[in-house]
Amino acid sequence: MTWTPGNRLIHRFNPELGPGLITAVEQRTLVVHFPDTDTVLRLAADSDAISPLRFLAGTPAVILSSLERVVIAEDSGPDLATLTDGRVVTTADLWPAKIGESLTERLELGDIDPFESFSLRLDALHLAALREADGLGSFLGGRVRLFPHQLYAAESATKSAPTRWLLADEVGLGKTVEACLILNHLLRTGQAARVLIIAPDTLTVQWLGELWRKYHQVFVLLDEKRMLDVEKEYGPGFNPFHAYQQVVVGLDFLVDHSRLTTQAVEAGIDLLIVDEAHHLKRQLGHPGNRAYRAIQPITQLKRHVVLLSATPLEEDAFGFFRLLELLRPEEFSNVPIPDRIEGTEPLPPCTSSARREAIKDLPPRVPVPVDLSEDRDWSAQSDLEIQLHRQPARSAVRRKAKLRRLRRALESGSALIGILDTKDQELKQLAVATDNSDPRLAWLCRMGPKWKQAGQKTLIFAAHRETLELIKTKMRQQAQLRVGLFHEDLSPAQRDIEVAQFRVQDGPSILVSTECGGEGRNFEFCTRLVLFDLPWNPTTVEQRIGRLDRIGRRVPVEIVYFRPSSRFGAAIARLYESLGLFQKPLGGMERRLDHVQPAIEEMVLSDTRSVNSSILTTIAMEAQQRGDKMNDAALHELHRHPYRSEMAESILSRLPDDLEELIQEVVLASAEDLNLDVEEHQGGQRYSIELGSRARVDSLPGVPAGSSFLGTFDREEAVQDESIDFFSSGHPLVEGILEHLDDARTGRVAFLHLSGPEEGFGLLALYKNGPTFNAVAIDHNGRQRPEWANLLTQRPIRSRRINAKRWITQSEWPALIRRMVDQLNGQAKPVAVAAFRLDKRLAAPKNPTS
């Protein structure tokens, strides 16, 4: 088309500019003034974004010479238009009427949106309501499998405001997931904005990764470097909690920087999450350890607090109640704990503690004992053990030193060498000989290549770094295997790198770890656990096993342990077998086993040259019979409203079946409407979506131009492959599209022609009501018709194409719309409106009221 000054046009991709008037033509460039927005743009004359302004039937317009408002009846040629009153005017004397933001005014003037846009908005309203799902929808955004006991804990915790809760599930049942479900709920429902997560320093980077990969939450790690960055950017003394709203900080770092506690209180933390909260200790009559004192002032803000601890009863009932005191000081500060336990008054609702026996379909533990008791290569270790046992231990100090040496000697010669003096040359020689002939190392070197060939990952636990180095060296030299190391001397970042490399398919097939890998880490992807040594504390063994024996695991937990010829090593293995430690979890029995380690120590220090089996029997029987009244009472209180397996069906029945499907429909329909680049992969299992150069918007809220994503709408697919995005609640693209829809002008006014049980015409108005929406239908006589409202808002909505001209050019149209709108008085401002026709025959009516 040849453009000349005075021509009128519209910008197809930016309709909010209104009609434009060409003021100049400069070769291939048009200078266009858009009066509605008082904007001047220079546009390419051959751009497909512009098209001539046309006055179609039903278009509201203004006659420029008289400023009279009219409606076009039909286009009578390139320069003429016929009005609804029969007059014929020149299009040069017309200008499109600027329609206000009133949706009912737009409806009256026929300024309607495409049916697809209205249907998309209705789907988005359904999605917003579905995400609440009777209290469960706001918990569902994470890249996690949904387990009913976790949903039960999260919902129980958030029933009252503020949320103040102790999550005390057994190891491996998903306390971190429960905490993140609570976090998502409080953020999405607007109950929290400023969040502080405190975790052991070794777990801070893991928390950051989990929050981003699984819950689309961006937190910052507050460490020395970040503190310096805050000081450089905002000045000395600036409160870092004002600079960042979502923060993870290490417990030791917080304790060493006491001012952070004061700054957190000053900023006003909305939600405090404390992982491994059993590190917070306060004895009766004592202000508490440094960790307790660092966190207590933040809990006193009386906002949301969530504590995570798998072993709140391990120390004693006082430790358990001290954690509850942080949550409910008004309940526990003034009443002595023994009196509270002896009384009948129940605990306030502030705890949950799922037990494995209440969870269905958990994979079993499969003990794999490796009997090396007849192997002659144990002779060096036997000599070493005898030499150590001969050493005198008359004082408490010498007893402690002797036990330390014996414990390390049972682990490895290298572990013992790490604490020997220079004068202990004979012991060093025996220790070296022990490592050179250790049957456990020979067995691992035989099995390691087979495990690798099968594509299996193996986690090996040993107590000390020296043993880790020994295992790595032997397996590299004798089996040519890459072995990863995980120990206390690595920085948190280095530890995460080791785990990340171990997880990938072509990474090391074996990772050797000290006890620092037994706290908070998830190694459920491993095929087996190898206990190179057996700690004398059964709780430590349970923590090791718990790294693999976790909720969500679908294959049995293979637990490899050794039966050596050593009299004490073999005795400990037999004891743990009799306790059932390798077959089933302790299940809250830690306190009843606190006598086991002292009994083992007495056995090791005894003068007998062999272990009497009656000693083992006595220890095992005591474990079954021991009972601490105070602990039992506390445990009983903790289980006042426990999760039970029979709850699972009713909880899962409340989950919306079509949530993921509806998110997919809304996102893909919006992407098409916005002209985003979308490509389907793997038969619709995955999609790549890009906010490219052809998009009709420069950006979306939280999604800058050029952003691209490869992901899935399927939860299980996302759980299986964390390298792709999960397009769910909380994902930047999903939230950006929903926020754009919420603010967009389109999809708010429509004409609908649907099949119905009766003939009728009316007005539908949609109102937002928090996360849900209400629909009001008014018939042409001004009566409310709730049954019509229900029919018109069911998914999927189906409407015949409508000739808008045939509706709005009827002489009674304006009065009809105003009459129905008057019946909406007293209602809030609608977010969408539609005139509709119900028709049994689905024949397009000549007169909408007939």
The number of folded domains in the chain is 5
CATH code for the domain in which residue 736 is found: 3.30.360
Strand 60-63, strand 68-75: pairing: antiparallel
Distances (CA, A) of 183 to 129, 488, 719, 736, 751: 19, 30, 20, 20, 42
Give the residue-averaged pLDDT of 464-477. Answer: 96
Closest CA to 128 of 691, 717, 737, 714: 737
Whether residue 26 is predicted with pLDDT greater than 90 in this model: the reply is yes
CATH of the domain at 74: 2.30.30.140
User: Do 337 and 467 reside in the same domain of the chain?
Assistant: no
C-alpha of 91 from chain center: 58
Confidence band of 412 (pLDDT split at 50, 70, 90):
very high
How far is residue 9's CA from residue 21's CA, in Å, rounded to a whole number?
7
Give the pairing type, strands 94-96 and 60-63: antiparallel
What pLDDT, on a 0 to 100 scale, did the predictor assign at position 844? 42
Is 750 strand, coil or helix? strand
- d(CA 382, CA 609) in angstroms, rounded, equals 12
Question: How far is residue 349 from each of residues 160, 184, 327, 331, 637, measured CA to CA in Å?
Answer: 9, 21, 11, 11, 10
Mean pLDDT for 807-833 is 87
Q: In what order do the strands lie in the sheet with 557-563?
A: 365-371, 557-563, 528-531, 458-461, 510-513, 483-486
Residue 646 inside a domain? The answer is no
- The CA-based dihedral angle spanning residues 127, 133, 139, 140, taken in that order and rounded to the nearest 10 degrees: -50
Identify the residue whose tokens are 């293995």.
573
Query: How far apart, in whole angstroms, are the C-alpha atoms of residue 598 and residue 494?
Result: 36
Q: Which helix (H) or strand (E) holds 766?
A: strand 760-769
466 and 527 co-located in one domain: yes
- 372 and 469 co-located in one domain: yes
User: Residue 785 pLDDT > 80, yes or no?
Assistant: yes
DSSP letter at 446?
Answer: H
For the segment 727-759, what is each residue's pLDDT rounded down to a tens digit? Answer: 998 899 999 999 999 988 889 999 999 998 999
CB 153 within 8 A of CB 354: yes
pLDDT averaged over every residue in the chain: 87
Residues 782 and 717 in one domain: no
312 with 372, same domain? no
Q: Give the DSSP H/E element, type plus range, for residue 247.
A: strand 246-250
Given a contact cutoff of 8 angstroms between Cβ atoms, the answer to whether 763 and 820 are in contact is yes
φ/ψ (deg, to 5) at 70: -140, 175
Tell me what pLDDT residue 74 has. 81
Same domain for 455 and 523? yes
- Bridge partners of 220, per DSSP, are 247
| Residue at which a domain ends, from 689, 717, 743 | 743
**pLDDT at site 363:** 86
**How far apart (Å, rounded) are the C-alpha atoms in residues 552 and 716?**
11
Q: Which of 725, 743, 761 is the last residue of a domain?
A: 743
Place of tokens 């400069």: 26
Nearest to 639 by CA among 280, 245, 250, 353: 353
Does residue 670 surpass a pLDDT of 80? yes
Residue 745's pLDDT is 86
Secondary structure E strands in 564-617: none
- How far is it, in rounded angstroms, from Cα 494 to Cα 206? 11
pLDDT at 60: 82
Find, among 774, 781, 695, the residue nearest to 740 by Cα.
695
Domain span holding position 810: 747-838
Domain boundary among 534, 551, 584: 584
In this structure, is residue 596 part of a structural domain?
Answer: no
The model's confidence at residue 845, banded by pLDDT at 50, 70 and 90, is: very low
What is the domain-level CATH number for residue 319?
A: 3.40.50.10810
Q: List, for residues 549-584, the tens digit of each pLDDT value.
A: 887 788 999 999 999 887 788 888 988 998 888 988
- What's the predicted TM-score (pTM) here? 0.72
Encoded tokens for 455? 């594509």
Q: Is residue 135 part of a domain?
A: no
Q: What is the predicted pLDDT for the residue at 337?
A: 62
Helix/strand/coil (H/E/C) assignment for every residue in 255-323: HHCCHHHHHHHHHCCCEEEECCHHHCCCCCCCCCCHHHHHHHHHHCCCCEEEEECCCCCCCCHHHHHHH
Tell me if 639 is assigned to some domain.
Answer: no
Are residue 788 and residue 821 in the same domain, yes or no? yes
What is the rounded distance in angstroms from the CA atom of residue 738 to the CA atom of residue 732?
10
Residue with tokens 């004192």: 293
> How many C-beta neighbours within 10 Å does residue 20 have?
26
Neighbouring-strand partners of residue 772: 769
Shared-domain flag, residues 708 and 762:
no
Interatomic CA distance for residues 191 and 806, integer angstroms: 49
Q: Which of 123-132, 480-489, 774-783, 803-812 has the lowest mean pLDDT?
A: 803-812
Asked if residue 119 is part of any domain, the answer here is: no
What pLDDT shows up at residue 622? 67
The answer, yes or no, to whether residue 316 has pLDDT greater than 70, is: no
pLDDT 10s digits, 611-655? 555 666 677 676 665 544 444 444 555 556 788 889 999 998 888
- 140: nearest Cα among 795, 771, 797: 771
Is residue 496 one of the residues assigned to a domain? Answer: yes
- Say what the pLDDT of residue 850 is: 44
Region 53-75: what's the mean pLDDT? 83
CA distance 573 to 656: 49
550-551-552 Cα angle (round to 5): 110
Label residue 116 exposed, middle or buried (CB < 10 Å: 0-12, 13-18, 19+). middle
DSSP 524-567: TT-SEEEESS--SSHHHHHHHHTTTS-TT--S-EEEEEEE-SSH
For residues 337 and 200, state if they share a domain. Answer: yes
Backbone angles phi, psi at 756, to 5 degrees: -145, 170
Tens-digit pLDDT profile for residues 419-441? 998 889 999 999 999 999 999 99
Structure tokens at 251: 């417990």
Residue whose entry in the numeric block shows the structure tokens 């079993």? 364
CB burial string 507-522: b at 16+ within 10 A, e below: ebbbbbbbbbbbbbbb
* 469 vs 349, higher pLDDT: 469
CATH code at 578? 3.40.50.300
Q: Give CA–CA dist 204/223, Å, rounded.
A: 10
Measured from the Cβ of residue 164, the count of other Cβ atoms closer than 10 Å reads 23
Which value, to the nearest 10 degrees, does the dihedral of the CA atoms of residues 420, 422, 424, 428 take? 70
Cα separation, 94 vs 71, in Å, equals 11
In a shared domain, residues 187 and 333: yes
Contact 150, 156 (CB under 8 A): no
Is there a domain that residue 825 lies in?
A: yes
pLDDT band at 308 (very low <50, low <70, confident <90, very high): very high
Residue 632: inside a domain: no
- Cα–Cα distance, 757 to 480 (Å, whole number): 76
Mean pLDDT of 80-87: 86
Mean pLDDT, range 231-239, rounded to an integer: 94
- pLDDT tens digits, residue range 88-104? 999 889 988 876 668 98
**Do residues 515 and 534 touch, judged by C-beta distance below 8 A?**
no
- The DSSP call for residue 359 is S
Mean pLDDT score, 136-146? 84
Could you tell me if 51 and 82 lie in one domain?
yes
Integer Cα distance of 320 and 637 in angstroms: 11
Rounded to 10 degrees, what is the CA torsion of 564, 569, 570, 571?
Answer: 180
**pLDDT of 360 strictly over 90:** no
**DSSP H stretches of helix in 639-727:** 648-653, 659-673, 715-720
- Regarding whether 469 and 326 lie in a shared domain, the answer is no
pLDDT of 278-296, one tens digit each? 889 887 778 889 999 999 9
Task: Report the percent of the chain where pLDDT is more than 70.
Answer: 90
How many alpha carbons fall within 13 Å on the CB side of residue 650? 6
